[in-house]
């Protein structure tokens, strides 16, 4: 496993048809020690993804040829690249594209115009989550500040006080917690948590989130664990948001 503190060990593919933007992002990534690969259209991006073995892809949605959403879908459907981290680059205010991208399996998004500082922070965060994902999958214990989850015992405690959750609330909490920092739309949560129950409506997610928060959040007016991402969905707070 790569050491997230050593940037030089990571290869990042930047995909955008704006050469000036690619050059700017490349300059700043290389300054941080990353190795950068470049593509200016969808076909070139797919070729590099398959042969260049990048550790993360910065992917513009609007590309010549194959669009970013289609690339994201193809990457997720191929076993050899299914877990490749993807950060979408979207035009400011295009909420629909953000939601569609996340539903296709993107790990995060950055709206243009973006600050280089924000982009680098998102890159570091997604790489950290990517490297720690196998351990999170294996571990049946999760701790985040004063919140404790024991998956095998089906127990949850906040400040050493046990809380009682319904089976669905527990599955929802566990799924969000083990994928902390990643944003999920309501439709994604329905698919991952409710599964084949096709009669459940998206607003059901909001109801369960409210019930879950009423049990685990010390202050409902300022949630610390399950956070709302306006216009997109929900996420569990990253460790640096504790």
Q: Which of 142, 66, 121, 35 is nearest to 108 (CA)?
A: 121
Q: How many CB atoms lie within 10 A of CB 237?
A: 19
CATH ID of 7-134, from 3.40.50.2300, 3.40.50.720, 3.30.540.10, 3.40.640.10 = 3.40.50.2300
Residue 37 backbone dihedrals phi, psi, to 5 degrees:
-110, 150
Residue pair 189/229 in contact by the 8 Å Cβ criterion: no
Quote the pLDDT of residue 83.
77
Instruction: Note down pLDDT in tens along the chain; length 242 residues.
Output: 455 445 557 999 999 999 999 999 999 999 999 999 999 999 999 999 999 889 999 999 889 889 998 999 898 888 788 778 899 998 766 666 677 777 777 888 888 888 999 999 989 988 887 765 554 455 688 889 899 999 888 899 999 899 988 888 998 999 999 888 888 888 888 878 877 554 567 788 999 999 999 999 999 999 999 999 998 899 999 876 65
Q: How many CB atoms lie within 10 A of CB 197?
A: 10
Determine the length of the chain.
Answer: 242
Quote the pLDDT of residue 45.
96
Quote the pLDDT of residue 131.
66
Quote the pLDDT of residue 36.
96
- The contacts of residue 12 (CB under 8 Å, 6+ apart) are 29, 34, 35, 36, 37, 54, 55, 56, 57, 58, 123
User: Measuring CA to CA, how many Å separate 113 from each of 10, 21, 124, 190, 229?
Assistant: 25, 10, 19, 32, 19
Sketch the domain layout of the chain as residue ranges.
7-134, 139-241
Does CATH number 2.60.40.10 belong to domain 139-241? no
């Amino acid at each position: 496993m790569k050491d997230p503190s050593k940037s030089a060990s990571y290869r990042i593919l930047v995909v955008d048809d704006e050469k000036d933007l690619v050059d700017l992002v490349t300059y700043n990534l290389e300054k941080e020690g990353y190795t950068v690969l470049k593509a200016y259209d969808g076909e070139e991006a797919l070729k590099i993804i398959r042969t260049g073995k990048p550790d993360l892809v910065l992917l513009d949605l609007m590309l010549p040829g194959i669009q970013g959403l289609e690339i994201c879908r193809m990457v997720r459907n191929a076993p050899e690249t299914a877990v490749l981290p993807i950060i979408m680059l979207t035009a400011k205010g295009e909420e629909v594209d953000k939601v569609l991208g996340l539903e296709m399996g993107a790990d995060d998004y950055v709206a243009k115009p973006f600050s280089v500082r924000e982009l680098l922070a998102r890159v570091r965060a997604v790489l950290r989550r990517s490297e720690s994902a196998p351990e999170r999958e294996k571990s049946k214990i999760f701790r985040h500040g004063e919140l404790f989850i024991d998956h095998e015992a089906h127990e949850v405690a906040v400040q050493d006080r046990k809380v009682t959750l319904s089976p669905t609330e527990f599955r929802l909490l566990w799924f969000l917690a083990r994928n902390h920092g990643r944003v999920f739309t309501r439709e994604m949560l329905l698919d991952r948590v409710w599964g084949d129950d096709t009669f459940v409506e998206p607003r059901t997610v909001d109801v369960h989130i409210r019930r879950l928060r009423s049990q685990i959040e010390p202050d409902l007016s300022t949630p610390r664990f399950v956070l709302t991402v306006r216009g997109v969905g929900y996420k569990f707070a990253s460790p640096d948001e504790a």
